[in-house]
């Protein structure tokens, strides 16, 4: 091999090492680079107790693994042991591997809130024990869980029978997959929709499964989402709130937790926890069930939803949505009122002070006399477009009013504008567009008497253009080398920085905000809010002044096609400070966004690369009679231009009706890339990037395999004598019995169990073959060395004897070399097949874990997503593990088998990205042809 030939593997290793490093950097950004946990822990004031509810015998017999509990603490738990319940029923549904005890945060805080109102109203929190099933990885039990929840609802409502205020419906709180199970209740034929009037989901992946590992999971999602789309009008009386965790939740990205847009109607709301008032914190997948700030918002909403007449949750959908918007979207710093009075009397012997200036500040400390500050609007309407006011007194009383057509600076009756205010972490603010309020003559700011409180009030009139600045974001391929910068030198209280062209999920930026002030006096902190207008995913940061603050700007939801609004950076500033805003593209966070949205598709890309390499090895076997090395063949064969263009062409053509009609007439499924594009989760070059990432991972997985085999074989040789290298028969009675036994295991227990057994058997065979090859190579090299030594010591012999010995030695060595060469070729092929098979095992492993966890309830996994695949592949591998390249090489089917992996790789990426359970089917078909080559 020349210098260039030796340099190629080194360059390939360097290139694929760089790709693998990029993958790791993206994974690191998702798993570790996010804001600190700002949630407070919820604590129980008394020992929590879980009272098991007795279920009907038929239900208990049908669902032996599931249970229903009632939560309680202290005296409340003792009072409820006889189940004479009088509260409002709420049912908590845990998610993937979740515990029924996660209800304690909701139950405990609701109990404290009920004590505050002397138990005039209270809630009874029930919780379902799903045996901590892994339903996010195995979808076979989702339908069973849904039916059990239906039975639980009927049992719960029977507990209130003949009570004075007996409920007719149940509110449900579902965490993770529990929220999806709650939505699935409405797909049951005998389920009455009026049994649920309120559904709150926490970090529930509504749009699609995080990892689509079996068809039962994807079919369940399809059924639920289609039902909610088609029956949207029938579900309008059900109010649904979905709360996502934000960037801290790396298990369920927030984009999946937003209810599908086509099912969004007037009674559906989706928010990210970082945008929830009084929480303003991202939560991880588990902390969302105990985050005190979020739990408080939920419980406050529950109590505000109570109808005083029925003492149950209100049946009015409009009121339910008003309450949820009040607590989860825009909080005006006031206690919720269903119908606030249109006009308020401004009473009290307070001093009235007229303010004519366009900018006003008033500091209050131990002010015993209340005041009304009035701002006449007539003199400001021509010069200004908006008025903005803020107060650092965060109480829930009204503080700003509007006088209607009053000629006097005093007005006895005014409209309460406090309902238009918005609560922020350090202040409450209101901004009014003067054009929208033509009937207002004055704005009145109320300063109540205060003792011991110190706070500040600010108001200013301004033109919108003077406070709105456009900042174009940097290009994706600037890699952080260039930046966009603006300097805000004005003395205003509010700035809106519009982030132009920031609308796609693959964009990610770092925004640095430097604040500098003219004097060193104490100031209130600045508040920076990244506002995304098309979804409730705002994030808020509080910064001291002066300071240097860094904000990560990235999206959970891409901008809808018909939406022209622009994301904004709202800066709630101090008046005598200036701010410098610098925006740069963050390459690491871009990689994180790619991993966040598409890491679940990486197995399909990895297997596609290995399958292309496998096809290349078969091709070299046809052309040269030798099997090439995995790493070298991967470099030569795994090229994106062999796969991606065809998929892109199909996606493009599916935009035309005539092609879509032909496609549907052939009963072909929709290409995954087209589905992702419709969800705004696809972007240019992403498939190419993922393919290259898959190539890098496939390359290093091959290196890992080769290194592991060498390690195991060295250990084997060190501990025991190597077996003799001999050729085995393909089919023997013993192997037939083994294949039948594994097929029986697949049919009677779990298909994944049979797959793991045959995998271990295959792995042992390959290690044994590697040991044989290594031992024979060592023996051959040793014999060759000894022959040379013997030749030097026997120069005194006759030429005739020497010639005879050399010919015998050469013949023996030639025979040994050919045998070892054939074994080496077979070993290379087996290593590639084992590499492919490893990914099949990994994709089927969740169902095996689920089966092992539930083995005490049932020996047979039913339904089993990989039963038939397991039966086929175990039979195939029982033959392949004993095959050699010499048998394959002589087959007439080899040329066909060598060409099939390419179209299979294309099909895998076209239909397997969102359906990972299809990946083993493509691999199995390719291995089936290989097996036929060994026989035919």
Active-site residue numbers?
176
| Contact criterion met (CB below 8 Å) for 89 and 80 | no
3-state secondary structure 871-917: HHHHHHHHHHCCCCHHHHHCCCCHHHHHHCHHHHHHHHHHHCCCCHH
Shortest CA distance to 195 belongs to which of 163, 228, 235? 235
Q: Residues 759, 760, 763, 768: is their CA dihedral positive or negative? A: negative
Angstrom distances, CA of residue 913 to CA of 5, 238, 676, 686, 922: 36, 34, 10, 12, 13
Which residues 6+ apart lie within 8 Å of 801 measured at CB? none
Q: How far apart are CA 66 and CA 720, in angstroms?
A: 51
Shortest CA distance to 239 belongs to which of 140, 128, 321? 321
- Walk across the sheet containing 422-423 and list its strands: 359-365, 454-462, 386-391, 428-433, 422-423
Burial (CB < 10 A; 0-12, 13-18, 19+), residue 183, is buried
- In this structure, what are the phi and psi dihedrals at residue 393, rounded to the nearest 5 degrees? -85, 105
Q: How far apart are CA 680 and CA 762, in angstroms?
A: 43
Residue 300 backbone zone (phi > 0: left; psi -120 to 50: alpha; other: beta): alpha
Residue 680 CA, chain-centre distance (Å), reads 15
| Contact criterion met (CB below 8 Å) for 669 and 625 | no
Could you give the angle at the alpha carbon of 813 between the alpha carbons of 810 and 817, nearest 5°? 135
Residue with tokens 């879509």: 660
Q: How far apart are CA 427 and CA 450, in angstroms?
A: 17
The tokens describing 295, both together, are 């739990």
- Walk across the sheet containing 123-129 and list its strands: 48-52, 67-73, 123-129, 88-93, 170-175, 196-202, 239-244, 268-272
H-run or E-run covering 625: none
Q: Is 843 helix (H, G, I), strand (E, B) or coil?
A: helix
Residue 506 CA, chain-centre distance (Å), reads 15
| Contact criterion met (CB below 8 Å) for 294 and 283 | yes
Could you give the angle at the alpha carbon of 597 between the alpha carbons of 596 and 600, nearest 5°? 90
Q: Is 796 helix (H, G, I), strand (E, B) or coil?
A: coil
Q: How far apart are CA 99 and CA 89, in angstroms?
A: 19
Q: 747-750 contacts: CB < 8 A, separation 24 or more?
A: 747/867, 747/871, 748/859, 748/860, 749/851, 749/859, 749/860, 749/861, 750/847, 750/848, 750/851, 750/860, 750/861, 750/864
Q: How far apart are CA 484 and CA 490, in angstroms?
A: 19
Q: How far apart are CA 923 and CA 253, in angstroms?
A: 30
Residue 280 backbone zone (phi > 0: left; psi -120 to 50: alpha; other: beta): left
- Walk across the sheet containing 351-354 and list its strands: 344-345, 413-416, 400-404, 440-447, 371-376, 351-354
Q: How far apart are CA 605 and CA 695, in angstroms?
A: 8
H-run or E-run covering 519: none
Which residues 6+ apart lie within 8 Å of 39 measured at CB? 279, 281, 283, 287, 290, 291, 292, 293, 294
How do strand 196-202 and strand 239-244 relate by DSSP bridges? parallel
């Amino acid at each position: 091999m020349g210098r260039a030939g030796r340099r190629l593997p080194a360059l390939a290793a360097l290139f694929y090492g760089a790709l693998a490093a990029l993958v790791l950097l993206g994974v690191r950004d998702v798993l570790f680079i996010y804001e600190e946990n700002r949630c407070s822990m919820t604590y129980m004031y008394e020992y929590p107790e879980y009272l098991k509810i007795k279920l009907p015998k038929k239900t208990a017999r049908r669902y032996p693994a599931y249970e229903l509990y009632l939560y309680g603490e202290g005296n409340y738990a003792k009072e409820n042991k006889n189940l004479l319940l009088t509260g409002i029923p709420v049912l908590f549904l845990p998610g993937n591997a979740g515990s029924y005890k996660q209800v304690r945060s909701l139950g405990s805080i609701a109990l404290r809130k009920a004590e505050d109102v002397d138990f005039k109203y209270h809630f009874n929190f029930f919780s379902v024990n799903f045996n901590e099933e892994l339903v996010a990885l195995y979808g076979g039990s989702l339908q069973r869980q849904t039916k059990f929840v239906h039975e639980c609802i009927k049992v719960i409502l029977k507990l209130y029978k003949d009570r004075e205020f007996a409920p007719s419906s149940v509110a449900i709180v579902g965490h993770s997959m529990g929220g999806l199970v709650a939505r699935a209740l409405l797909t049951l034929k005998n389920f009455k929709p009026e049994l649920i009037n309120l559904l709150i989901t926490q970090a529930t992946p509504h749009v699609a499964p995080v990892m689509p590992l079996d068809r039962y999971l994807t079919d369940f999602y399809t059924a639920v989402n289609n039902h909610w789309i088609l029956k949207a009008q029938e579900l309008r009386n059900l109010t649904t709130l979905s709360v996502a965790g934000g960037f801290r939740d790396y298990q369920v990205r927030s984009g999946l937790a937003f209810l599908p847009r086509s099912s969004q109607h007037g009674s559906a709301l989706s928010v990210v926890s970082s945008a929830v008032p009084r929480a303003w914190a991202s939560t991880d997948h588990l902390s969302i069930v105990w985050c005190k700030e979020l739990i408080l918002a939920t419980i406050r909403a529950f109590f505000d939803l109570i109808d005083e007449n029925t003492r149950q949750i209100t049946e009015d959908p409009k009121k339910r949505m008003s309450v949820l918007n009040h607590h989860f979207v825009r909080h005006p710093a006031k206690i919720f009122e269903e119908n606030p009075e249109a006009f308020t009397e401004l009473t009290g012997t307070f001093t009235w002070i007229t303010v004519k200036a366009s900018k006003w500040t008033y500091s209050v400390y131990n002010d015993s006399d209340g005041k009304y500050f009035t701002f006449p609007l007539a003199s400001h309407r021509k010069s200004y477009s908006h008025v903005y006011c803020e107060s650092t007194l965060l109480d829930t009383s009204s503080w700003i009013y509007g006088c209607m057509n009053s000629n006097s600076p005093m007005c006895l009756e005014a409209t309460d504008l406090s309902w238009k205010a918005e609560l922020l972490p350090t202040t409450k603010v209101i901004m009014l567009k003067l054009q929208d309020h033509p009937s207002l003559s004055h704005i009145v700011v109320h300063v109540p008497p205060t003792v011991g409180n110190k706070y500040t009030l600010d108001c200013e009139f301004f033109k919108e253009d003077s406070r709105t600045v456009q900042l174009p974001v940097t290009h994706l391929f600037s890699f952080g080398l260039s930046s966009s910068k603006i300097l805000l030198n004005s003395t205003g209280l509010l700035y809106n920085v519009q982030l132009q062209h920031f609308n796609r999920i693959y964009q990610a930026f770092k925004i640095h905000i430097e604040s500098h002030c003219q004097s060193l006096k104490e100031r209130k902190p600045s508040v920076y809010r990244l506002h995304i207008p098309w979804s409730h995913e705002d994030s808020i940061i509080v910064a001291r002044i002066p300071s240097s603050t860094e904000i990560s700007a990235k999206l959970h939801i891409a901008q809808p096609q018909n939406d022209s609004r622009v994301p904004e950076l709202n800066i709630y500033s101090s008046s005598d400070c200036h701010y410098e805003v610098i925006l740069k593209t963050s390459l690491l966070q871009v990689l994180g966004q790619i991993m966040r949205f598409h890491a679940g598709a990486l197995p399909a890309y990895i297997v596609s690369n290995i399958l292309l390499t496998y096809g290349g090895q078969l091709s070299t076997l046809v052309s040269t009679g030798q099997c090439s090395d995995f790493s070298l063949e991967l470099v030569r064969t795994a090229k994106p231009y062999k796969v991606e263009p065809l998929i892109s062409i199909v996606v493009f053509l599916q935009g035309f009706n005539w092609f879509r009609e032909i496609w549907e007439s052939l009963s072909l499924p929709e290409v995954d890339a087209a589905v992702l594009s419709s969800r705004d989760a696809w972007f240019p070059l992403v498939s190419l990037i993922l393919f290259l990432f898959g190539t890098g991972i496939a390359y290093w997985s091959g290196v890992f395999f080769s290194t592991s085999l060498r390690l195991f074989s060295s250990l084997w040789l060190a501990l025991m004598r190597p077996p003799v290298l001999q050729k085995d028969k393909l089919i023997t009675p013993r192997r037939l019995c083994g294949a039948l036994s594994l097929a029986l295991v697949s049919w009677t227990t779990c298909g994944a169990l049979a797959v793991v057994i045959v995998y271990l058997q295959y792995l042992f065979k390959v290690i044994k073959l590697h040991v044989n090859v290594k031992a024979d190579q060592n023996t051959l090299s040793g014999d060759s060395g000894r022959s040379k030594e013997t030749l030097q010591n026997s120069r005194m012999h006759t030429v005739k004897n020497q010639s005879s010995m050399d010919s015998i030695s050469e013949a023996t060595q030639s025979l040994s070399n050919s045998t070892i060469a054939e074994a080496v070729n077979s070993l290379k092929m087996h290593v590639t097949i084992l590499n492919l098979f490893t990914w099949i095992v990994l994709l089927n492993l969740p169902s095996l874990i689920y089966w092992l966890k539930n083995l005490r309830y049932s020996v047979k996994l039913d339904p089993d997503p990989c039963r038939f695949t397991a039966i086929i592949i175990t039979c195939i591998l029982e033959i392949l593990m004993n095959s050699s390249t010499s048998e394959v090489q002589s087959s007439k089917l080899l040329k066909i088998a060598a060409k099939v992996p390419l179209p299979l790789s294309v099909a895998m990426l076209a239909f397997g990205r969102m359906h990972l359970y299809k990946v083993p089917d493509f691999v199995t078909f390719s291995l089936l042809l290989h097996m036929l080559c060994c026989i035919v």
